[in-house]
Structure 1
Amino acid sequence: MIFQPSNGSDIEEMEKQTRKLRTEISRLGEAIVATSEPPHALVAMMGERERNLAIVEAKVAALKTAPSVSRPGGPSP
């Protein structure tokens, strides 16, 4: 079986996205601490970003573990 190498730019783009999400999560956390109002909307926004982060991190891990299986066109016979 011949495996295609992973596209490094895909991984780089997803890692860039993880950094952005981590920054947003951190800022939302700071806003939650600083607010005197109930932070329901901020907490919901943080949860959404944490879910997105988990998805992107799982995709990056999958590409790094089995690059050709995780990509369309996968392994060639």
Structure 2
Amino acid sequence: MNSGIIPAHPDNELRVALTGGFPEVPAVLVVTGPGIPEKVSVAFRNGREHYEYTGDMLDLEGAILPLFRWSYSTRIAE
């Protein structure tokens, strides 16, 4: 059965769509591992931007991607 999810690469890489947060953060992220993770984070400026899986999918130019929504930021202590 085809889930419609488009893998980025056959070696357990998956493209996911990001929404919310800073507009400079890329809209698509490649993650590795089995299945869709509950949370992902992106290095950005002096910290990380954290996103949570919404349970929804987004059709992005014909590719069906799991949708992650921004949830919070963390900063690196100096």
Q: Same fold per TM (> 0.5)?
A: no
TM-score by length of 1: 0.22
TM-score by length of 2: 0.22
- Indicate the structure with greater helix content: 1
Question: Relative contact order (C-alpha < 8 Å, sep 6+): which is higher?
Answer: 1
Give the structure with higher Rg (CA): 1
